[in-house]
Amino acid sequence: MEDELTLTALRMALSRRSIRPGLVHHSDRGSQYASKDYTDLLKANQIDISMSRKGNPWDNAACESFMKTQKYEEVLRNEYRDLAEAFASIPEFLEKVYNQKRLHSALGYLPPVEFEAQLAAKNLEAAARQLIA
């Protein structure tokens, strides 16, 4: 089930983002990330694959933190009737809670949506300054 959920999460992420050259997908060496279906989907979208060094969990600390959060704040708090319900519920958690409401210490205690909006505004300001100069 974990392999299926991970692949579904990747598909969802790819459908919601524009992929640019140079994007790197970093993960641990878990079987779900090393599976042929998963790596083929990354390659098909021209995403570089990076995996943690063997026996070094700190290589992937940010991703591990996310997975822990998803596990404790969504998966373990719910009893899914079936796989279809899990597939429907987890993306909703990611979009409505994790990305829009949950504060992230690595982002200055902002939700990702607000952090990205501030970053985009700063980039527009910088581009405007370059045009004026």
Listed in sequence order, the residues at least 6 apart from 52 whose beta carbon sits closer than 8 Å to its beta carbon are 26, 27, 28, 29, 59, 60
Q: Which domain holds residue 80?
A: 2-102
Q: From CA 47, how far away is CA 21, in angstroms rounded?
A: 7
In this predicted model, what pLDDT tens digit does every residue of 42-69 receive, in sequence order?
Answer: 999 999 998 877 777 666 677 778 878 8
Contact 64, 28 (CB under 8 A): yes
Side chain identity at 8, as an amino acid letter? T
pLDDT at site 115: 94
The answer to whether residue 110 is domain-embedded is no
The answer to whether residue 108 is domain-embedded is no
CATH of the domain at 75: 3.30.420.10
The answer to whether residue 118 is domain-embedded is no
Sign (positive/negative) of CA torsion 34, 36, 37, 41?
A: positive
pTM above 0.85, yes or no: no
